[in-house]
Structure 1
Amino acid sequence: MNASVSTRETSVKVWSPYIRLFHWSLVLCVAVAWLSSGEIMKVHELAGYCAGGLIASRLIAGLAGSKYARFRQFVRSPGAVTKYLADVMRNRERRYLGHNPAGGAMVLALLFCVAAIALTGWMQTTDAWWGVEWLEDVHEILGNSLLVLVGLHVGGVVLAGLRHHENLVRAMVNGRKRAPSADDVT
């Protein structure tokens, strides 16, 4: 038996091609927008519009997408998120095939933050909001907040990967994760 057959038998498809394309496209849009901020405004605006469009498409996928893309699969109550984080602190959290409760909360926070950045950025291009200083400040604060969220997201991915012996970045590239065991949440 060759290695690719063995890998396929011990892994399952979790992230659809759409989710993977969305994820890495959003990473690119955010990076371009951040790097072009205040320097190349047309590029910055275009990256923002693309990010906004991606968020709109992700909202549709959250309602009608594949199993692990749907909001009902990973949106948990604040109590469930708190319990999961307490389990993390005690080093006894369960492995989730899709997003764990903290990961689901992070997805929502990232989607909201990028949507708010795109909205406040677009508003600044309109006659009604052009040059409104507080709106520029909100846009900048949201951009900086997004960096904090991205840092927390990457930290959570690293922690979960180490705890569960899983390469989550590779899973977001090829869509596959280790097949679930009896203790895992699917």
Structure 2
Amino acid sequence: MGHTPLGALMIYTLLLALLVVGLSGYLMTTDMFWGVEWPETVHEFAVHWTEISVLLNIAAVFYESRRTGVNLPKAMIRGYKYIPAR
């Protein structure tokens, strides 16, 4: 068992958001975009989006752990899941 489709979507969302954070942060340090407002606006939005996504991901992990009976945080640390018999 791997990620749910929503879990996979969250992975892509977090990767894209972190890419935008890094790229927009880098653009703010270049001579071409120094003092330009839109990279800072994009950067700020991406940071907030990342923070919200992380909190939603943590909440979803605990919700799914409770719903399925699989200790997902423990599975992330140990590397394998114990799936109880139904």
> TM-score scaled to structure 2, two decimals?
0.90
| Residues 4-43 of structure 1 aligned to structure 2 (within 5 Å) | none
- Separation (CA, whole Å) in 2 of partners of 1:136 and 1:122: 10
CA RMSD of aligned residues (A): 1.7
Matched residue, 1:155 = 59
* Closer, same or farther: CA 98–116 of 1 in aligned 2, 3 Å: same
| Residues 103-114 of structure 1 aligned to structure 2 (within 5 Å) | 103-114=7-18
Letter in 2 for 1:102: L
Letter in 2 for 1:103: G
Structure 2, gaps ≥5 residues long: none
Which stretches of structure 1, 4 residues or longer, exceed 3 Å deviation after superposition?
none
- Separation (CA, whole Å) in 2 of partners of 1:173 and 1:164: 18
- Separation (CA, whole Å) in 2 of partners of 1:129 and 1:174: 44
> TM-score scaled to structure 1, two decimals?
0.43
- Separation (CA, whole Å) in 2 of partners of 1:130 and 1:173: 42
Letter in 2 for 1:113: A
Is 2:81 the partner of 1:177? yes
Matched residue, 1:101 = 5
Q: Comparing both chains, which one has the higher relative contact order based on Cα–Cα distances under 8 Å and sequence gaps of 6 or more? A: 1
- Separation (CA, whole Å) in 1 of partners of 2:38 and 2:82: 47
Aligned positions, number: 86
Q: Residue deviations 1:53-83, cap 9 Å, x none?
A: xxxxxxxxxxxxxxxxxxxxxxxxxxxxxxx
* Closer, same or farther: CA 180–167 of 1 in aligned 2, 3 Å: closer
Task: Determine which of 138, 141, 145 is the counterpart of 2:45.
Answer: 141
| Residues 62-141 of structure 1 aligned to structure 2 (within 5 Å) | 97-141=1-45
Deviation at 1:160, TM superposition (A): 0.6
- Separation (CA, whole Å) in 2 of partners of 1:162 and 1:98: 17
